Amino acid sequence: MGIFIDRRTKVVVQGITGREGRFHALRMRDYNPDVVVAGVTPGKGGQDVEGIPVFNTVLEAVKETGANASCIFVPAWAAADAVMESFAAGIELVVCITEGIPTLDVINMVSQANVDGLARRVIGPNSPGIITCGEASIGIMPGQIFKPGPVGVISRSGTLTYEVVGLLSSCGIGQSTCIGVGGDPIIGTTFVDCLGAFEKDDNTKAVVLIGEIGGSDEEDAAEFIRNMTKPVVTFISGRTAPPGKRMGHAGAIVSGSMGTAESKVKAFQKAGVPVANTINQIADIMKELL
Amino acid sequence: MKLHEYQAKEIMRRYGIPTPRGKVAETPDEVFKIATELGGRAVVKAQVHVGGRGKAGGIRVVNNPDEARVAGSEILGMDIKGLTVGKVLVEEAIEAVSEYYLGVTVDRSQKSVTIIASSEGGIDIEEVAAKTPQKISKMWSTPKEGFMPWQARSLALDAGFDEGTIARVGGYFSGLFKLFEREDAELAEINPLMVTKDGKAIAADAKITLDDNALFRHPGYSDLWEEEGDDPLEQEARKRKLTYVKLNGDIGVIGNGAGLVMATIDAIKAEGGEAANFLDIGGGARAEVVQSALELILMDEAVKAILINVFGGITRCDEVAQGLLKAIESVNLDLPVVVRLVGTKEAEGRAILSETPAVTADTMVDAAKRIVAIAGGGI
């Protein structure tokens, strides 16, 4: 169980013959061999990557293998096209790892998910991926640090998420699904989308939310959590970041009075949601809640 | 990438948006010459990448070419919020009967493009939003859907624009949206749009920020690039392809992943220290990248100690340790260093570190405590 992906998910890796695509497709297969069914690189159809068949188009891959999810490793200039191709081929979930996609391309590909009333989903872009522990991994997260259990994890970051997951695992707190929603200003799946899914997931008893400066997804999440039955523990990074500077992630920027860590912390506190001041506190608070 | 006002106006003219007659000058003599050509009253405006030019004395209205020369000599070379003025825009002065705001930007929470109009032009739009939100009207669209002149007209009416202006303004507004989309902007703003007695509307000030990620689609934009305003260390970082932000403290920070580095900087602050920088070596960095990052940090004279915090996933701890070893040799790194390595090839990394004077720490908080103690003690 868990959310968005499980052991029945079938993934096609777009850009599988590139350095990153190949490396991570094989790691995803190590996590669960049944989940990675195909790769796509235009012009390289008929080849294989250590046994994973490569197709010219996503549609062929879907027809031949029954793939229902896609993972995008193609370069930024071609990424939006790759997402559109996935949706056109009937894929329902696209996990976009690529960083640096032009913002207007992201708006187009993200809005494509919901045309004609279809409830399709983009995770990312600039996402480290998603893992449902013990079942499936799509993306670049190091599978070995995860441990199955009752805590859902959502985050805008990659390594900081691993840091928190490593800590939780070492304290004996396992995870249900962990999602990196992505560090870009526009993302397909927000904290609120994930919280809604976790609220309905029988395997998830509590959630850790790791936010950062920029945008207002944390403030929206704070409002949403008011109506949740499951507890959520939060952490915000970038509390000491100067305004107007992009802190690595394209989306991590305080612009004017918008997107400050202070506003996010306040929103959570107002909604009665615990905010950890240090990474270690996340585990301490979670232990008490479970 | 921020553009200067004169560059933004050049682009706006290509989309049919009228701007005042004028030219750019780099010397007081050029200012005099342009003002003479324009005849009558003129405005001399500093071209720098910061807001609040007017308040800082960087914008002056002059009555004749002699006054223009004086204004030019005073504004050129002026320091505005740490930036030196190298260029001024000399334009005809517009007599406005009303001033409006038109803007197009990205709305993160709506995942779309938002088009903003206000009858309160000439003021910072955030200020208007805070004080008189009823004077702002917004619509949303996507590049695919577009923004038609009729939509622009109803938005302008809704924002309280004079009825007599909406036929013209609707077209300009639609042009601004087209510009935003075709040029891959993050922000395209006219503030104020001045309406004259005879009903003409003119973009008196213009602001465009382009999406850095889309520059590959616009090869001509590299000519518009000006490094002015960037910290010299940030410029050096760009050459080295490192993600770096200069901060005000004395502890150099290196980590992998933006969120982790931000959290590390927060942890240093929580222990009473101040980071000198944000530096993300990204995923899968090799020893050479770590070495280059350390060299960059050592160029910052404020740095008294360095903290390296790496969570090894794709990044290998042994590569990070090798990078430190190389930097110690190549640039004579003699500042105290605290290293926290965990994850892939951790044992190998630690073994390499044991050959160096670096102090190791087990957790991020522990590493922050140690580095703050070292920097504070002046060791």
- pLDDT per position as a tens digit, B61-83: 999 999 999 999 999 999 998 88
Which is it for strands A121-123 and A136-139: parallel, antiparallel or unpaired? unpaired
Co-location of A155 and A115 in the same domain = no
Nearest to B265 among A161, A166, A240 (CB): A240
Co-location of A284 and A146 in the same domain = yes
Q: Identical fold at B22-92 and B96-224?
A: no
**Residue A168 confidence (pLDDT):** 97
pTM greater than the 0.90 cutoff = yes
> Which one from A249, A273, A275, A282 is the annotated catalytic residue?
A249
Query: Is the pLDDT score of A6 beyond 90?
Result: yes
**Residue A244 confidence (pLDDT):** 85
| CATH code of A191's domain | 3.40.50.261
Question: Which band of pLDDT confidence, cut at 50, 70 and 90, is reported for residue B284?
Answer: confident
Nearest to B259 among A100, A159, A240 (CB): A159
* Domain contains A4: no
Query: What is each CA distance from A65 to A8, A13, A39, B363, in whole angstroms?
Result: 13, 12, 10, 44
- The CATH homologous superfamily to which domain B232-375 belongs is Succinyl-CoA synthetase domains (3.40.50.261)
Q: What is the percent of chain B where pLDDT is above 90? A: 74
| CATH code of A68's domain | 3.40.50.720
ipTM of the complex: 0.93
Domain boundary among A93, A123, A153: A123
Contact A110 B364 (CB under 8 A): no
Give residues with Cβ within 8 angstroms of A48, minimum separation 6. Answer: A54
Question: Which B residues, 2 through 31, put their C-beta within 8 Å of a C-beta on chain A?
Answer: none
Q: What is the mean pLDDT of residues B165-189?
A: 94
Q: How many CB atoms lie within 10 A of CB A246?
A: 20
Q: Where are the domains positioned within chain B?
A: 22-92, 96-224, 232-375
Q: What is the mean pLDDT of residues B262-274?
A: 95
Helices A103-112 and A76-88: crossing angle in degrees, nearest 10, is 10
Two tokens at A144?
Answer: 């070995």
Q: How many CB atoms lie within 10 A of CB B182?
A: 15
Q: Which of B378, B6, B9 is nearest to B193 (CA)?
A: B9
* Smallest CA–CA distance from A184 into chain B, residue: B108
Query: Is the pLDDT score of B228 beyond 70?
Result: no
**Residue B227 confidence (pLDDT):** 63
Query: Is the pLDDT score of B188 beyond 50?
Result: yes
Question: Which band of pLDDT confidence, cut at 50, 70 and 90, is reported for residue B128?
Answer: confident
A241: which chain B residues are within 8 Å (Cβ-Cβ)? Answer: 262, 265, 278
Single-letter amino acid, residue A222: A
Contact B262 A238 (CB under 8 A): yes
**Residue B275 confidence (pLDDT):** 97
**Residue B40 confidence (pLDDT):** 85
Q: How many CB atoms lie within 10 A of CB B371?
A: 32
* Domain contains A1: no
The two counts, helices (H) then strands (E), for chain B are 12, 18
Q: What's chain B's length in residues?
A: 379
Question: Which band of pLDDT confidence, cut at 50, 70 and 90, is reported for residue B112?
Answer: very high
b/e sequence B127-143, b meaning 16+ C-beta within 10 Å: ebbeeeeebbbbbebbb
* Domain contains A185: yes
Q: Which of B14, B212, B200, B210 is nearest to B104 (CA)?
A: B210
Co-location of A103 and A157 in the same domain = no
**Residue B378 confidence (pLDDT):** 46
Single-letter amino acid, residue A233: V
State whether CATH 3.40.50.720 applies to domain B22-92.
Answer: no
Any catalytic annotation for residue B172? no
**Residue A257 confidence (pLDDT):** 77
Query: Is the pLDDT score of B273 beyond 60?
Result: yes
Co-location of A155 and A91 in the same domain = no
**Residue B222 confidence (pLDDT):** 80
CA B4 to chain centre: 12
Give A200 to chain B, closest Cα distance, Å.
23
B365: which chain A residues are within 8 Å (Cβ-Cβ)? Answer: 278-280
Q: How many CB atoms lie within 10 A of CB B105?
A: 18
One DSSP character per residue, chain A reads --SS--TT--EEEETTTSHHHHHHHHHHHHH-TTTEEEEE-TT-TT-EETTEEEESSHHHHHHHH---EEEE-S-HHHHHHHHHHHHHTT--EEEE------HHHHHHHHHHTTGGG---EEE-SS--EEEETTTEEEES--GGG--EEEEEEEES-SHHHHHHHHHHHHTT--EEEEEE--SSSS-SS-HHHHHHHHHH-TT--EEEEEEESSSSHHHHHHHHHTT-SS-EEEEEE-TTPPTT---SSTT---BTTBT-HHHHHHHHHHTT--EESSHHHHHHHHHHH-
Co-location of A176 and A275 in the same domain = yes
* Domain contains A6: no
Nearest to B270 among A212, A251, A278 (CB): A278
**pLDDT digit string, tens, across residues B308-353:** 999 988 788 999 999 998 888 888 788 999 999 998 888 999 999 9
**Residue A237 confidence (pLDDT):** 96
* Domain contains A136: no
* Domain contains A132: no
Query: Is the pLDDT score of B213 beyond 90?
Result: yes
Co-location of A96 and A187 in the same domain = no
Round to whole Å and give the CA distance between A50 and A16: 11
Q: Which of A150, A135, A143 is nearest to A5 (CA)?
A: A135
**Residue A177 confidence (pLDDT):** 98
B343: which chain A residues are within 8 Å (Cβ-Cβ)? Answer: 142, 145, 162, 166
Query: Is the pLDDT score of B379 beyond 50?
Result: no
Q: How many CB atoms lie within 10 A of CB B216?
A: 14
**pLDDT digit string, tens, across residues B243-256:** 999 999 999 999 99
Any catalytic annotation for residue B5? no
Q: Are B14 and B220 in contact (CB under 8 A)?
A: no
Co-location of A152 and A249 in the same domain = yes
CA B127 to chain centre: 20
**pLDDT digit string, tens, across residues A237-281:** 999 999 888 998 989 998 877 899 999 999 999 999 999 999 999
Question: Which band of pLDDT confidence, cut at 50, 70 and 90, is reported for residue B92?
Answer: very high
* Domain contains A44: yes
* Smallest CA–CA distance from A240 into chain B, residue: B266
Query: Which contiguous run of DSSP H or E holds residue B5?
Result: helix B5-14
CA-CA-CA-CA torsion sign (B55, B57, B58, B59): positive
CA B375 to chain centre: 31
Round to whole Å and give the CA distance between B303 and B250: 4
> Which one from B189, B221, B271, B319 is the annotated catalytic residue?
B189
CATH number of this structure's domain B96-224, picked from the four choices 3.40.50.80, 3.40.250.10, 3.30.470.20, 3.40.50.300: 3.30.470.20
Query: Is the pLDDT score of B293 beyond 90?
Result: yes
**pLDDT digit string, tens, across residues B12-42:** 999 999 999 999 999 999 999 999 999 989 9
Give B17 to chain A, closest Cα distance, Å.
22
Query: Is the pLDDT score of B132 beyond 90?
Result: no
Question: Which band of pLDDT confidence, cut at 50, 70 and 90, is reported for residue B229?
Answer: low
Contact A210 B283 (CB under 8 A): no
**pLDDT digit string, tens, across residues A168-188:** 999 999 999 999 999 999 999
Number of domains in chain A: 2
Contact B259 A103 (CB under 8 A): no
Q: Are B131 and B148 in contact (CB under 8 A)?
A: no
Any chain A CB within 8 A of the CB of B313? yes
Query: Where in the sequence is the domain holding A153, given as residue range(s)?
Result: 142-289
* Domain contains A3: no
Q: What is the mean pLDDT of residues B244-269?
A: 95
